Amino acid sequence: MMSVRLIESLATTETLAEIFSDRSVLQAMLDFETALARAQAKLKIIPHSVARAVAKAARVESYDTSSLARETLRAGTPGIPLVKALRQRVHQESVAAADFVHWGATSQDVADTALVLLLKKAAPILGADLDRIEKALQSLSNTHKTTVMLGRTLLQAAPPVTFGLKTAGWLGSVRRGRAQLERAFSDALVLQLGGASGTLAALGNRGIEVGELVAKELKLAYPDAPWHAHRDRLAAVLCACGVLTGSLGKMARDIALLMQSEVAEVAEPGGSGRGGSSTMPQKRNPIASTIALAAANRVPAFVAAFLSQMVQEHERGVGGWQAEWPTVAAVIQSTGVTIASMAETVEGLTVDDKRMADNLNATRGSIFAEKAAMILSRKIGREAAHKILEQATDSKLLRDRRLTKVLSEMPGVLEHFDHKALSRLEDPQDYLGMAAEFTNRISRSAGARPRHRK
């Protein structure tokens, strides 16, 4: 496996870096040319000797990727120097065969199909790490279905929730995002073969036959028509990546906030070289969440860039599709490193339920002001009840006492509370509403979701 470039070390994984490496990209283009020659040979459009010569020459180690990169900058497409180099290699085997290399295809056919083949390789890698996330989140949700913690709205303490519901919320969002991504991948993994103007006129009336065989060789779907200037399928993949990365970023933000020293309710897994500080030995930083949040910051701009590149001219764009390769590579790799980082996090997440209870208790019952106001509202009206609870939750009054005690000392309040209601006012288990049912509903609906894999 290749090493990740230092400048991209926080933006990809080794596996995805390998998929988008020069060797991998070049091999994908060569695979297209091999499949094209084999399909045409089967249909007797070109001699079988050509297909054999192309297959023999289509070995990535036979080419200088640096030279091809320099020539691509001059040609405006990687297809032109690639086909030139391939013809030269085939020419060494057979002068006659060299004339049939890339027969009837165009340079964008090579580039687009190669990109699709890279996406085809990336999809199961993303899926494997998403499986890890789903399994870990489901386990956390089940384990902590009744673990009570502070709800937090606008970063302030709010009525209690359960950690099981919080993790179920993450799980539901991830699964919805995954379903969108799988649908987008399914639609996008299609062959590009259109020839000069997208009609395959150079192949006469055999164009569709050739296309279907090439698609079969490469294990891709065959579209209704070539899509040189229609980039909607790729755009859907990138948009789905943007949504999924945003969902994972939300999870990462929550975990990072819960890891703050003064909160300390969860912790990412540690280990050698993980989460430390170059100057502060005591630190345990939310490193995986940081990586995910960095990606969540990058990806929207890349997605927006791709969407702007969709406006392409007539049958072949000028400048639009030429900008796509680095954009697509950046989005897929950023999505992948986010998924991998959060998979590691949730699989090893430490949950401190005692600290959750302590933080809830530290509010001195103020988070149950809504509950008290609802009880009083039935007796004295909503506005009057709200006013009483505003007074009761004044920080000066709650400094040394709990909300229940303050309310019991306020004139006229006790007559509207029965003893049982007052004694249970600060019981978090008595004010969780439908938390358990919502948690169950997410688990049930997620478990029944359809798969959209090729």
How many residues are listed for the chain in this entry? 454
**Rounded (5°) CA angle 51-55-61:** 155
Catalytic residue among 277, 308, 423, 445: 277
Are 164 and 146 in contact by the 8 Å Cβ rule? The answer is yes
CA 397 to chain CA centroid, Å, is 47
Q: 134, 350, 98, 327: which is closest to 234 by C-alpha? A: 327
Distance CA 194, CA 321 (A): 15
Are 389 and 401 in contact by the 8 Å Cβ rule? The answer is no
Whether 316 sits among the annotated catalytic residues: the reply is yes
Burial of 368 (0-12, 13-18, 19+ CB in 10 A): buried
Q: What share of the chain is helix, strand, coil (3-state, %, to 5)?
A: 65, 5, 30
Q: 16, 282, 223, 46: which is closest to 123 by C-alpha? A: 16
Indicate the angle between helix axes 79-93 and 22-42, nearest 10 degrees: 60
Whether 277 sits among the annotated catalytic residues: the reply is yes
- Residues 6 or more apart from 300 whose CB is under 8 A from it? 242, 246
Catalytic residue among 316, 355, 401, 402: 316
Two structure tokens written together for 23: 């060797």
Question: Identity (one letter) of the amino acid at 376?
Answer: L
Residues marked as catalytic: 277, 316
